[in-house]
Structure 1
Amino acid sequence: WDAAEKLIMEMRSESGCELEVRVFNTIIYACSKKGLVDVGAKWFHMMLDYDVEPNIATFGMLMSLYQKGWNVEQAEFTFCQMRKLDVRCQSAYSAMITIYTRLGLHTKAEEVIDLLFKDEIVANLENWLVMLNAYSQQGKLKEAESVLVSMQEVGFPPNIVGYNTLITGYGRISNMDAAEQLFQNLQNLGLKPDETTYRSMIEGWARFGNYEKAKWYYETLKVLGFKPNSSNLYSLINLQAKHNDTNGAIRTIDDMVDMGCQPSSILGSITLAYEKAGRFDDVPVIVRSSIYELVLVNQTTSSVLAMAYVKHSLVGEAIKLLQDKRWRDPAFEDNLYHLLICSCKELGHLESAVKIFTHMPKSNDDPNVHIFS
């Protein structure tokens, strides 16, 4: 980049070359491809300092770059320069709306939407979809539906991305009657629900608290060969804990394992869900599923589970877990027993502390003096 800057200076001062937009666009394009937000911004400011007028390609590349880096300050500056020069780049409006929406600056996003129409931009599909998302994200579903209608009135056919955005929006505010109506109407519009559609319906019904509906969409999603996302799995585990569906929870955990979720993440989801539901006594049965072997071979996950068992007065389960473990690290194990005994003491469960102590593995090394204190 330093060499490129030096070359530009030489072209200007020594060769007397007139710098033009293509020179800077070539460099900005390289920045855009590499995701170098600060470098791209630097070259844009240099471009302006040399009185080289950016064109539509310049603004398109820069705004796309700023969107990837969520750089609102540079995006605002560049967007303002674009409008001053009376350049009308459709993708720049989309990028500015998307950045504001992502950052929760919804009023500013709506201001850019107003500018899009004020500047008489002929909105493309991307423009319509980001407008739709901007309203849906803040729960303004009437405005979002109005955008969808306008989009179709100007000639764009029904679009599954647009309907997914609306369904997600209604799910976010727990208006599942409207979300369900949209879902049922997709076939009439010649649209086929995709993976995102089912994921959104699972999330919506889970947020609404309807386990049967969430479960139905989850099972249908799998039958169709789609995969749930991590949020779907966490939502389902929470509902299964709340509704005391142990077998369902075990199946969900199996799905998590099959999808390659980290054992620590799975274990965290289980313990949080069952603590929240007040059913932690069910955890030992649920954990003895496909995840159990993964827990036993990992020091961290087995330690976390043992501590959780002690916290909930399931000392026998903690002892069994430590007897079943598949790892060997005497120093780590000694410290873990110390932590478990201390936890029992803090909870006032002295009998449990003694029980754990009596099950400690025998060691020829010097005993941990903290355990006897």
Structure 2
Amino acid sequence: MSASESVLPGHIRLILVPNPSFYLEIPLNVIKRLCLKPRKYLVFLGWCIFGDEAELRENQGGQATSLDGDLDDESVYYFVRPAGGGLSHAIDLDVIKQRTGVRSATTVTRHNFRNALLLRDFCCAWTGTPESNGEGMHIIPYARGSEWLHLIVQNRPGNAHVANINDINDIRNGVFSAVAINRSFDRRRLAILKTPNTILSKTDIPKSPKRPVPAPKDVAFSTKFRYTLQWLAEPHATELNMICPHNADAAFGKNHKKPMPSDLLVHYHYGAAAVERWGHGADALHRPDLPRPPSPLPVPMGPTKTIHDRTTTIQKRAEASGAGAAGAGNVAAGEASGSGQIRDSEEKGQARWDADDVMLYFWGNSQAAMERHRKKQEEIAQNMEQWRQGVPSLSI
């Protein structure tokens, strides 16, 4: 589908990359139930996906539009990044995926992950479902592994100090939830909106509904932040009644000393869920005018692979997850209800990208991440030069 084609009735289109376009096509009724400030919500989505702040415009070369007011049915909006924030000098995804160091294998078991979450959350954070009917829910999927978590942290768009989140079973990568919530979250029908954040305030989100059963006495709602569970997919009535209502806020254990779910990972998941559910035109990211930079210089000394170095595993896993996507173009493997049409490039030999690949590509090309990439390349070049100068010349 071309971005120039008509927008579906009852939807709006958010252009993230123009000419050719990568964009989100989102049902208006979904936006209205998720956020009281629909235009700010579009900026929030762009910020989650790119990691950079930008302006919302009604035409690419126009002025920034007001973030107050409603969205117009069948209209097109542009998420315009600041000068220098485009993709004309984008870093290729293969480079972004390259490891920056050897990480240890997962050291915390899923059983210990569950128990650690219970010390903080006590029960399902959104429904109060007791321990016996709940489980530890990973924000970054467990199947992605600690390596992918490390890639997210290393390519983060901001400068938050999260470098010590290395394990997929770190409790900052989880919340204790009812089993049914976990299943819908893994399918990215549900996502967590943490407020306040850079774009949205707590009051920009509809109030949390009153729980049919009062929260246990051991937990409390925070007055400083909200972890709001939102249906990005259109839920069935039974899902609202039996799994979770719209915009339910999480409550956590009283007086705990455990770290809370990571803002970075929550925002990543929200962006990936939006791309998976509403994204169109991933082939636009394989544009021939986007230069492929040369591969990084190799580390001059030491083995290329150690026991826990699983670089190849990451790449194969990403390709396999993309290859498992539905043939019609839906990113979520086995998910029939999503409207997103992320498609693989028709270019021969081009591997299919899934929503996580798209997210990592954009995050790795944010201004902050590109600066880190640049510094890393300079360090590698300096190390190589120092190594060369230290090698004695051989006389013949």
Shorter chain as normaliser: what TM range? under 0.3
Q: Which structure shows the higher strand fraction?
A: 2
Of structures 1 and 2, the one with the larger relative CO (CA 8 A, separation 6+) is: 2
Q: Larger radius of gyration, structure 1 or 2?
A: 1
Q: TM-score, normalised by structure 2?
A: 0.20
